Structure 1
């Protein structure tokens, strides 16, 4: 087992895109990382433990947290990055859409966060970070996304609730609300159109998100914050 003095971050949805970037970002901070997703490959870095599993399943949350403690001795940060986005007119959502989005965006947050908080209480401190969308605060008729607002909006409210509930016990809770980020989710042919959604005129980069999360990690007086990383999208057009 590595020394318990090394801080440990757990990152969900960590196989590619933002999640993979966060793994690198936390390693640069000197953290050990437990990275989980359904299809994540093994890592050659002894301070990165990868765990395959569906975060919708509470058994996966139990497995990830128990392995984190077994391997590294603690959990200092949980980044709830795993998420599904389905842009569709509200009346066209199917039951399968609803179950998939709520399963990952809400179910994938709930149990692993409970377990992380239990560990953080025992350690007398920790940090929770939720990844949400600026569409929660700035609806756009060009991007119909009620399921995202329903689930990610819930996470934003939970972020503030957790911040207040556990502030006196050393646990902070923050969120990053994103615009469109350049990841495998979006084809290159769509980037010019998607850039037009942001007042700054470009899509975001994974590095923009990682830098925002690292800021929150290193800001001990910041909790209950919804940090918009959206190129000005939530401010207006």
Structure 2
């Protein structure tokens, strides 16, 4: 039998909020993990390659997010380790920048596997877990793809990230009465290891504010939405004005 101290520790464990962050090993995902940890969330951080954490409140799970078995493993580990799932941040995504007619079937399959299948498998499991306590929040990291950019080669990004923007609104309505919110953050071009430093000045010109975004700015938007309890179905652009026009 557990003693009173163990009961108190267990109660604290299951009362603390728990967030799952996909694509968490670097860039925007790593900043999202840091932002939630500052708020004392328990975190399940997952990526294809991610090192174990020395923080007992951060559980890392290695796996291909496009594989349904990985999604099941992530949810099972979150519940086993921390007792619940409060927030899911679908950050994992890849970008292949080629002229549309140069994209191969392999390119298409790779983007669909991460950006779409990766969203589908884990989100349906996370929402099912959230339904058990009639509350929860899903945040999709999409992209500022409202309009094309000349030379940007954004067709596959628009196909997948635009789809995520649409399903954000649909799921927000579908699950509103069950106490589950669904929102998205749509970044502009953001400083991550994906973009070599020598390209930063040029990429900054895509935004009316004249610079690239910082990963921490995207993370701040995610944390804001998680605390904004009367906001659902929102696509929050963090893009230096890119979606407003150029």
TM-score normalized by structure 2?
A: 0.95
Instruction: Give the Cα–Cα distance (whole angstroms) in 1 for the partners of residues 77 and 217 of structure 2.
Output: 30
Shift of 1:123: 1.2
> In the alignment, what sits opposite 1:227?
236
Residue aligning to 2:135: 125
| Secondary structure at the counterpart of residue 15 of structure 2 | coil
Query: What residue number does 1:108 align with?
Result: 118
**2:72 matched to which residue of 1?**
62
Are 2:216 and 1:183 aligned?
A: no
The 2-side partners of 1:149 and 1:122 are apart by 34
1:194 aligns with 2:186: no
SS of equivalent residue, structure 2 residue 50: coil
2:21 counterpart (11, 16, 32): 11
**Structure 1: runs of 5 or more not aligned:** none
CA distance in 2: counterparts of 1:105 and 1:175, whole angstroms: 14
Distance in 2, Cα, partners of 1:142 & 1:232: 19
Structure 2 residue 214 is matched with structure 1 residue 213: no
Rounded to whole Å, the distance in 2 between the matches of 1:164 and 1:84 is 27
Report the CA distance between 1:139 and its aligned residue.
Answer: 1.1
Q: Find the counterpart in structure 1 of residue 7 from structure 2.
A: none
Q: Return the match for 2:34 from 16, 21, 24.
A: 24
Q: What secondary structure is seen at the aligned counterpart in 2 of 1:123?
A: coil
SS at match of 1:30: coil
Kindly indicate whether residue 192 of structure 2 is the aligned counterpart of residue 162 of structure 1. Answer: no
Report which stretch shifted further, 1-10 or 41-50.
1-10
Find the counterpart in structure 2 of residue 134 from structure 1.
Answer: 144
Which residue number corresponds to residue 97 of structure 2?
A: 87
Shift of 1:87: 1.2
- In the comparison of the two structures, how many residue pairs are matched? 236
1:35-59 CA-partner distances (Å, limit 9, x unpaired): 0001000000000000000001000
Q: Output the CA distance in 1 between the equivalents of 2:147 and 2:44.
A: 33
After superposition, what is the alpha-carbon deviation per residue over 1:97-142, rounded to whole angstroms, capped at 9, x for unaligned? 000000000000001000000000001100000001112x121122
Q: Gaps (5+ residues) in structure 2?
A: 1-9
Moved over 6 A (4+): none
